[in-house]
Every structure is written in structure tokens, then in C-alpha cells.
Structure 1
């Protein structure tokens, strides 16, 4: 009996020593710190959005394209839509395959050099109660948007467009057009044109867009009362113009007068935290002033607006310093500031801290994953990292943990294994976000650790 007790004590002591050794080994943490990459680069859902046809040998790479379509182009005959022509002319299949997303605006009145209609002839024959004009803006026809027949036909149009584009996320942003010159929800009614409809009708147009594009982010030109209550984003087509942008920012901060209503615009100072801000560069100022002599002012206006994209009028790449500076100021900039791993029973535990060092959030809840890979990029394991990108505001960090089980032990001696991190675009199923950090990045994934 005494011998048995001694053996038990020896075994217990050995077990304790072994357990202590295992805990010590398992608790060793290997930490890496990553420096920021401050270079300019296009990134998923942000940056410049040139028109779908604005291509050339010197056109820089982009992840967004602007598609403006007039009703006349969309529905030349009642109930007959020009899908095939639009698809081919605008190369939409190729853009989708490349992972490029769209900024969409539908127009009913685009002023031009010659008298013309931007609505279909069949609709003009049904309504025809708008205003032909020849103004400082140009020439064109401004419809009566309150006309019941016009509204009913427009509801059918938006439903058809929404169904045709689908819900795969190809259309990321929809700028509410439809009403007013250039779809900007203003009409020169003081010069005799039929005015915009009252607020209740305008709100019905907003509701049409919400129903037609449930997966897209909707943006309006001004902070209308109806938009403020529905979580819409905003866009500024005079970006870079100090006076006009200051007025626009004033509306966002304080609300203001609209169409005879002193409270027609509602304060939306925090809208950018949950909904994107877009627009395009002003045409009133030269590129030289926007991107060289007045670059500091342009950057200040873009950052104060928390903008995520600019288009179809974008910076001219000939002014490369300014082009890159504005590009870097648009949207989020995500960086893993620190990552650590340690062995645990059954695998390795990783702790990752992700920071947003940009001027806006990433507004889509795209999956954030950690991967165990071979050195050639073959995925051995994928695990989600519990970080919600829309909740990561500029200046904030989020830390999360995950466990990988596919890597061999000891991992640090395996030259052909690595741990990477990526953010998946659901439209393509591919990792699509570039991290603003100094580390190897391949196939949309950032290398956190590699065997040595």
C-alpha cells in the first residue's frame, strides 16, 4: 500500500510538472506590429468613380464606376427596356466580373446645348405638361413631377431597373436623381418652370427608391426631412468649391430653407457615421486650382465632408500629387495595428487589432476572415473574425480573437505556411479590401504571420 501511494504521489507530481510546462508553452505569445502604408491606392467601395465609358490607356485603376442613365435611354418604348444595349455599351458584364461596383443615377432632365427630351416620347405624349427651357444651365425639358401619370410610370421604371440589376451588390450606391435638373432635386421655377412637387410627393419618390434598391446605399443631394428619417446618405456635386460646399455643410449641420419651407432641410451632422457621402468635383474650378494651388482647401473640404467617393467628375491623374492626396482622403483606411498568436490545445489562437485611420466607415457588413494558407496561397482553413466593419468609425480600433486548427506545430518552423487576413466581397466571393499596412498582400489578403 505504501509503495502504491508513493507511486501515485510521483505520478501526480510529474503530471503537475508536465501541465505547468504545457501551460507555459501554450501561453507564449508571439506579437507583430504593423506600420501604416500611407501611399494612395483605390479600394473596395471607395475612391474615384469615373463614368463607365471614361476609359483610356492612361485611365488609372478604380473599383467604382458611375452610370448615369436617362429615362429616354432606359425605356424607349413603354414597357420595353433597352437592357441589352445598355449592357453592351457600358460593358457591365466585364465590370461585374472584375469586381467593380456601380454608382447609379437616373435622370429625367439633363440640360444640354440643344433643345431635347430626356424622357421618352411616349411619356411626353402622355403628360407633356412640363416646361421647355433655355436657361443659363442649358436647354431641355423639365417635367411636371407631380403629374399622377408621370409618377405611376416612374414607379414602374424604378421597379424594373431594380429587378434588372438584382440584389448581388453590383449597384453599391444610388444617387436619388429623377427630380430636377441633373437629378439634383432643384428646378429654376423662378424663371417660369413648373416647380418641384410638394414634400409629400417628394417623399413618395424616396419611398420608390427604397423599395427598388433595398441592397444599395441611397444618397440625396440635400438633407431633406424625409431623408433624415430614413438613414439616407448625401452627395455634393460641387465638391472642391469652397462657397457651395460650405453652404452644403451648413445644411447638414443646421438644416435650412427649401422650396419655400424654412425647415425643409433637416440637420444630419452625424449621417456620415452610418450612411455614405459621395458626389463629384465641381466644374467651376480648374484642375490646377483644385489639385495644385488650392489642394489644401480641396483636401479640407473632402475630409470635413467624410466623403467615400467622387465621380463621374474625378481628379485628373495628370496632377498626380493632388490626385493621390484626394484619393487617400476618401473613405476608410483599415490597418491591423497589432496581431499575436499563441499555441493552445488543438491549434493556435490569434488576437487581431484592426484600426480605421480614414475619414469614413466601411458601410457594408462584409465578412472579415483569417486564413491558414500554404506559401502558394492555397487555403487550408478559413475562420471568421468577429469584427463589424460598419461599427468601426474613424479613429477607433476593434480587437477580436479566433482559433485556427489547420496549421502544424511548431508553426513557426514551417516555411510553407502562413496566416492571412481578408475581407470578402459577397458579389464576387473574393477578398477585395487592401489594408493600409506594410506587409505582403496577395489575392486580396494581408499576410500577418509566415513561417521562417
Structure 2
């Protein structure tokens, strides 16, 4: 099944919640009776959403993902030669903390040594020095239209996708590679502010985009700017000046670019992420807001439907007191907030209704499993299901899911039926539902009980 078809699950009416108790089983024959499950906020460190830091171990703020940059030269040593050790070390370290990685490769990062593969420099690839952004000639901007560099990027993307598409250690990949910081701009060398335009031609940009889409089917990709070249691709977006240059009507602001390219609804099937603008990462949570320039955070989330943001200040130096509480609430407001609104159990079938109280869907095809727990708290049987939470839209009617279970062979007695969405990363942060019956550590949600005779 294609990604687009998997994500076409969308319903349209409002979701209503009420407090309740777990369901009790009814006879295997006859219509099951639905019991409402009580709501409670999900943890702020649910996977694949919320604020994240640069890669590292922090106890100052809840998180499930970590960010890093990597120079292309660290992995690409020849036209078709790759050494993946540097990427493997980063992914393994982050996975070892139970987190998923978000990252990009770059060629040109102002203030850092060049990321251009050495063999291209040895071949005489044209590069340009520049003083901007405190660079003072440390990094250099390559000629992105050089056929040798274009071929290198295409070869790299193909090899990258072949090796890492669907890797459970990876949460999201931002396209990178082009422009300062891999952010797909070379301002002020844009042909307007400065006469020279250092960006690649539209033809080259299209080649890079097309190669990314062809190379990745499962791992989610995000581009920096909405454009005519990427509007129809299975690629989301990241706003790296979030709550600073996000809201319309200014032409270069992120939401205005979404509007101008006709992709304001693309978030329903492709993720939105980004970075809270560094100047406001700390002051935005003061009361009153202490930033000299900023945009309304809640409105920025509402209009972008962002799932995650890099926000290093929340982790280092971190916040305390009411400021910390406001930042945690802001992190929790990002992305999905899945809740089981009701459940119906029989001895041979489990049915649930799942709603989304968040601002965006869950984008990955993680599978759901059911289990029976005995009176001593032991999982005595598990059942796989075809259920996935992918694409359940916020604010829509709850999605109903149903699966058969086989309780034959279980000892007579009463069993608690639980469900969870399994994180494919071993030891990864479990996905937890916004319900009072949700276990915070293992990810199991209590649905109700069944009797086996």
C-alpha cells in the first residue's frame, strides 16, 4: 500500500469525549457494548513529536528525539564510495538513549570547515569565500551547478536511501545539502540582495528533490521551503524561523509560502517540523513574553500543524517553575495526541475507537498489538493486529478499529485486555495514549476485561 493511500484516512466531524471506565467483556455472540474510556493528557515525551535538543543526554526537559548536522565529506569519499561510520555513531548513541534522530547533511555551514567531499575539491570544484554569518572564509560555498557535484548528490541520496530508508533509529530527515546550513538558501547571494545568485538552477533542485523522493519511501523527509518543485512530492516541510517568520502575510514567511504554493493542507499527509528561532527559544516562555520580536506561538502551531521543533534553550540551560510548565505545555501542543475514546470487548473480538486531540496526525505505520494480562500482572498472550494510527486526523470523528482475538487455551479466569503501538526502535520511548488507563513505562493501555471459561 502506498504512503499516500495509507495517509488518506481522514474523517470530518467533531470528536466528543466523556469520562468512563474500562470495558468489560460481553458474550462472544451478539452485539458488543461500547464503554467510554476516560481521558488524561499524554506525556510530553511521546515519540516523534515535541521539543528536541541537539544530540545529548539531558534530564532538564522531556524529549523523544535528538538533532544533529553531519558534513557530507564525513561519509562520501568518492563518486560512489561511502563510509557510514560517522552517521552510525550518531544514530547508535541517540538510539542508546531510547530516542530517534532528526538530522541533515550539509556542504556549507557558515563558521564550520567545509562539508564538501575532498575528492570534489581535488578535482577543482569551484568554491566561493564569504564573510557573512561570522564565517570569515572558514566555510566555502560550492558551485551547485557543477555536473560533478550534481552527480555526487544524486549518488549520495540513492545510497543513503538504500541503506537507511525505514531505519527505526531515524525519526525524520531534512533534505539539507543545498545552501547555507543546508537550508536551501544562499541569502544574501540570491541575485537580488547581491547581484550573484549562488543557488542551483531549478533543474538541479528538481533533480535533488526527485532523487530524494525515489530513494525514501518509509522514512519521512522534510524540505525547508514550500515550492512549485516540491508541492506535489511526498515531502513535508520544516520552518527554521518558527514563531519569528512564520505567520502571513509577509511573502517570505513560512505560512505565506504554504498559501502561495497551495499546500496549506499538506500537513494531513506529510509532517511539518522546524526550529524555534534561536533568539526567542528562552524568552518566549516568560510572562509576559520577554522577546523584543516574536510571533504568537499558539497561532504558529495552529497554522502550521507542526509536530516537532528544535529548541535547545529548553534543555540547556533549561527552565524552572512556571516558565518550565509553559514550555512543557507548548511542547505537548505539537503533533498528535491520540486517545481511545471507547472500547468494546468480547472473548473473541476487540474493538476500539481512536481520536486525535492534537494538531497533526501520527505519520508512521507503527503496528498495534493486543495482549491478555492475568491476575498476577503477567502478559500471557499477545495478538498482532492490522491496526495503524497513521493519518488519524485531529478534530475528526474517532476511527473505529476491530480485530479478532483467540483466547482458546487460556486457563479459566478473568483477564485484562491491553493494547499498545509498538515503537520499532528497541528500547524506544513508547507511544502513549491520552487516557487514564495508560501505563507510562511500557506503553500498554488498559481497555477492559474478559472472562474465559
Give the TM-score band, short-chain normalised. Answer: 0.7 to 0.9
1:212 corresponds to 2:215: yes
Q: Could you tell me how far 1:39 is from its partner in structure 2?
A: 5.5
Number of matched pairs: 404
1:332 to 314, 336, 342: 336
TM-score by length of 1: 0.80
Q: Could you tell me how far 1:25 is from its partner in structure 2?
A: 9.0
1:70 corresponds to 2:71: yes
Q: Do the aligned residues in 2 keep the contact of 1:277 with 1:308 (CA within 8 Å)? A: yes
1:131 corresponds to 2:134: no
1:282 to 265, 277, 295: 277
Structure 2 matches for 1:141-160, cutoff 5 A? 141-160=140-159
TM-score by length of 2: 0.80
Does the C-alpha gap of structure 1 residues 361 and 377 become closer, same or farther in structure 2, counting only changes over 3 Å?
A: farther
Per-residue deviation, residues 201-260 of structure 1 (Å, max 9, x unmatched): 10101122223333211111111112111131011001121x44432101101x2xxxxx
Structure 2 matches for 1:72-91, cutoff 5 A? 72-75=73-76, 81-88=82-89, 90=90
Does the C-alpha gap of structure 1 residues 158 and 349 become closer, same or farther in structure 2, counting only changes over 3 Å?
A: closer
Does the C-alpha gap of structure 1 residues 75 and 222 become closer, same or farther in structure 2, counting only changes over 3 Å?
A: same
Does the C-alpha gap of structure 1 residues 130 and 428 become closer, same or farther in structure 2, counting only changes over 3 Å?
A: same
Distance 2:284 2:62 in 1: 24
Tell me the SS of whatever aligns to 2:61. coil
2:117 aligns with 120
2:39 aligns with 36
Q: Could you tell me how far 1:383 is from its partner in structure 2?
A: 4.2
Alignment RMSD? 3.1
1:101 corresponds to 2:100: yes
Distance 2:28 2:309 in 1: 52
Does the C-alpha gap of structure 1 residues 107 and 209 become closer, same or farther in structure 2, counting only changes over 3 Å?
A: same
- Larger helix fraction of residues: 1
Per-residue deviation, residues 11-69 of structure 1 (Å, max 9, x unmatched): xxxxxxxxxxxx989548554322221254211222223222x334x343422122311
Per-residue deviation, residues 138-160 of structure 1 (Å, max 9, x unmatched): 34311111110111122233333
Q: Do the aligned residues in 1 keep the contact of 2:336 with 2:360 (CA within 8 Å)? A: yes
Q: Which has the higher contact order (CA 8 A, sep 6+)?
A: 2
Tell me the SS of whatever aligns to 2:278. coil
Q: Could you tell me how far 1:125 is from its partner in structure 2?
A: 3.0
1:445 aligns with 444
Q: Do the aligned residues in 2 keep the contact of 1:180 with 1:186 (CA within 8 Å)? A: yes
Tell me the SS of whatever aligns to 1:41. coil
Does the C-alpha gap of structure 1 residues 219 and 149 become closer, same or farther in structure 2, counting only changes over 3 Å?
A: same
1:399 aligns with 400
2:236 to 233, 236, 251: 233
Structure 2: unaligned runs, 5 residues or longer: 1-25
Q: Do the aligned residues in 2 keep the contact of 1:42 with 1:62 (CA within 8 Å)? A: yes
Give 1 or 2 for the bigger CA radius of gyration: 1
1:45 aligns with 48
Distance 1:77 1:350 in 2: 54
Structure 1: unaligned runs, 5 residues or longer: 1-22, 256-265
Distance 2:156 2:269 in 1: 28
1:250 to 256, 281, 295: 256
Distance 2:229 2:28 in 1: 60
Q: Do the aligned residues in 1 keep the contact of 2:333 with 2:358 (CA within 8 Å)? A: yes
Per-residue deviation, residues 104-157 of structure 1 (Å, max 9, x unmatched): 211111112x7x423234322324323210024634311111110111122233
Does the C-alpha gap of structure 1 residues 24 and 407 become closer, same or farther in structure 2, counting only changes over 3 Å?
A: closer
Distance 1:410 1:339 in 2: 24
Q: Do the aligned residues in 2 keep the contact of 1:277 with 1:307 (CA within 8 Å)? A: yes
Distance 2:331 2:257 in 1: 25
Tell me the SS of whatever aligns to 2:152. helix
Distance 1:338 1:410 in 2: 27
Distance 1:332 1:286 in 2: 22
Distance 2:122 2:238 in 1: 33
Distance 1:275 1:249 in 2: 15
